[in-house]
Amino acid sequence: MTLVRTFLLSALILFGGVGTAFAHAHLLSSVPADRSVVAASPSELTLTFSEGLEIALSGVTLTTAGKQVLPTGKPQLAKDSDKVMVVPVESPLAAGRYRVEWHALSRDGHSSHGAYAFTVRP
């Protein structure tokens, strides 16, 4: 029985942290939020992830409901966190629905992607 306990304890120590060390950067929140309706055009998009990002290889594509790609500025990390991507919106957005497609490379080299939408109220 002691051998089994020793084996299980060793396995836990060896593999217990693997999930964290090799995790993908998952989107935790965004501003504007997914499915939100905002009263005015945002000046930037803020995306918060579960892992630190390689910002040079991460970014977003902002599109209209008609799938027109809109210009955005260069993604940057927030001053206080390598988990927060801030992307300037180059021009004011008219009333309507917008889609944000994002891609992120975490510091451990794993890539992830996704999308969300928000609406600017008339």
What pLDDT score does 46 carry?
A: 99
| Residue 25 pLDDT level (bands cut at 50, 70, 90) | very high
11 within some domain: no
Residue 57 falls within a domain, yes or no?
yes
Structural domain contains residue 67? yes
How far is residue 100's CA from residue 41's CA, in Å, rounded to a whole number?
14
Confidence of residue 2 (pLDDT cuts 50, 70, 90): low
Q: What is the mean pLDDT of residues 41-49?
A: 99
Residue 111 lies in a domain: yes
Mean pLDDT of 91-107: 98
Is pLDDT at 15 greater than 60 in this prediction? Answer: no
**Concatenated DSSP letters of 87-100:** EEBSSPPPSEEEEE
DSSP 24-76: ---EEEEESPTTEEESS--SEEEEEESS-B-GGG-EEEEEETT--EE-B---E
Q: Is the pLDDT of residue 20 over 90?
A: no
Q: Nearest-CA neighbor of 52 among 107, 103, 111?
A: 107
Residue 42 preceded by cis peptide, ω within 30: no
Find all residues with CB under 8 Å of 90, minimum gap 6, and list them. 70, 71, 72, 73
| Structural domain count of the chain | 1
> Could you list the residue range(s) of the whole structural domain that residue 33 is in?
24-120
Average pLDDT of the chain to the nearest whole number: 89
The residue that leads in pLDDT, 6 or 36, is 36
CATH number of 93's domain: 2.60.40.1220
Residue 82 has a pLDDT of: 98
Residue 80 belongs to a domain: yes
- Flag whether pLDDT at 30 surpasses 90: yes
